[in-house]
Structure 1
Amino acid sequence: MRALRISVIVLVVLGVLFTVADRLAVSYAEDEVAAKAQSSLGLSETPDVSVKGFPFLTQILGKNLSRVDVGLDSYPAQVDGTSITVEQLDIELRDLKLGSNYSTATARQADGTGLITYEELGRAYGELLGSDSTGLGIAFGLADDGRLLITLQASVMGQRLNVGDVPGDITLEGDRVRVNVDKDELPSLPAAALSQVEALIDEQAGVERTISGLPDGLSLDAVTPGEQGLELSVSGSDLRLVG
């Protein structure tokens, strides 16, 4: 009986030591993946990295990680060449193959989400539309029915006109997005002013624009209005991290 108790104690101790070693190895791997992600993506800050799965040591020996989560507080992208910040970019990397000497890692599949706040979207569109007195001013929010709420100002007949809040939608095709203002919901305006406002919407707000600068291997799947801003869904395959 005493020998059995000793054996159990030894097994428990070995189990604890293995778990500690496993967690230390995970911590080291997370630091390495974070450094590689920072280098690959050209980030100014080190991202948060969490390696999933247990035991980790068997994964690292097999040079295959089942899942790694990467979180970025902010990420710089572009809309038609104008800078725009994607916040809360969280990427789930699955089936990571580690290269020779663990110097590279390639994820077979990646899925993620991000956020462009309405304030940031309005700032970027303000730069895209310019400050010309004949142009269109635009801001964004969320309508009560879940659609995009678009606040418009327009220069009409030499005067700045507060058009007001108009519902709309945002559509995605590939990496191109378009803001669609529901012109049927425009407030009552004199015919001449209404015609000019509709023309400005078509010429400026309704232009198809390209989102670029996402991490290599990731592409946009969906853009949906949310409480804080546009919620992005991204996915990709063969996402490569190098040192």
Structure 2
Amino acid sequence: MRRSQQHGHDYDYGPDHACESAYEPYEPYTPHGPMDPNEPHRTRPRLRRVTAVAVATLVTLTLLPVAADRFVAARIESRTAEAFQEGMDTPVEPDVHVRGFPVVTQAASGTLDHVDITAHDVPARGNKRPLPVSELSLWLDGLTKSDDDSEARARSAEATAFLSYADVSNALGLEISQGRSPGRVSAVVLLPLGEEVTVTTTVSADSGNRIAFDDFTVSGGALPAVGSAVLDKVFERPIQLRNIPAGLHLRSVTPTSDGLSARFSGRAVTFRPDEESQGDA
């Protein structure tokens, strides 16, 4: 304790720290009371609303061109499917996909960079031995259409056609299936007295989009001369593939477990109505 005399009076200041504790420590003012150093900083509601609006606006501006481009692509795909179905006379519209972005720019230029088309049950008419195409897949580059909409043309194209063994059998008049050796198919031929032999033959691509059958062999018994003559007649003439877009050329034919897989490629591939396509073939 400290004492002091002044003008005859004693002043008692108490403990040495009494003067220091006479006032409360200063705390900065906040609208919500004293700041707690352990309390996380709280974003103001107005700032949160402004941020949300800005983010939503940015997302909208980003998605609008994509949505508009997708709308144009869907419209082109739908019209292409309708035209292909009418021209190729398929029972259902094919699947059409326009690739690349933006499609709006491609449409404005009059040329679509890449178009994929998958059609089913393409018929074959005007042929003594019609062989329909179970599935036709096309990959087109640089697709344009004529001014009068009478035809469409691709700068280049590749395609695969699947031909079922059931359709091949109907065309040949024999029940055809995959052979045991690569590149060959087989058929069972019934002989008099209930006997049967197995005939195998190679399958290959011939000019003019035709499938050729060569080098047939017989196993499981002897084939009478008359039977051999019949098989010669069946296999000597290749099967013509109809309703294939003009400009596509058959490159190879591969027997699979379910049918024949035919591969095509070509340049300046033209799509016309069914009767014109058959006339070109």
Q: TM-score range by the shorter chain?
A: 0.7 to 0.9
Higher strand share: 1
In the other structure, the counterpart of 1:141 is 177
1:44-85 Cα offsets, whole Å, 9 max, x none, are 322111111112112112222111111111101259533222
Q: Using a 3 Å threshold, how does the CA distance of structure 1 residues 14 and 105 change in structure 2: closer, same or farther?
A: farther
Q: Using a 3 Å threshold, how does the CA distance of structure 1 residues 100 and 120 change in structure 2: closer, same or farther?
A: closer
Contact 1:151 1:163 in 2 (8 A): no
Tell me, which stretches of 5 or more residues in structure 2 are unaligned? 1-46, 274-281
Give the TM-score, by structure 2 length: 0.68
Per-residue deviation at 1:117? 0.9
Per-residue deviation at 1:181? 4.8
Number of matched pairs: 224
In the other structure, the counterpart of 2:231 is 201
In the other structure, the counterpart of 1:179 is 213
| C-alpha separation in 2, matches of 1:202 and 1:93 | 39
Bigger RCO (CA 8 Å, 6+ sep): 1
1:168 is matched by which residue type in structure 2?
T
Identity percentage of aligned residues: 24
Give the TM-score, by structure 1 length: 0.78
| C-alpha separation in 1, matches of 2:164 and 2:123 | 13
Return the index of the structure with the highest Cα Rg.
2
2:198 is the counterpart of 1:165: yes
Contact 2:245 2:272 in 1 (8 A): no
2:166 is matched by which residue type in structure 1?
E
Contact 1:181 1:201 in 2 (8 A): no
Tell me, which stretches of 5 or more residues in structure 1 are unaligned? 127-137
2:103 is the counterpart of 1:73: no
Contact 1:140 1:148 in 2 (8 A): no
Name the Cα RMSD after superposition: 3.0
SS of residue matched to 1:220: strand
1:21-43 Cα offsets, whole Å, 9 max, x none, are 11111111101111221233233
1:54 is matched by which residue type in structure 2?
F
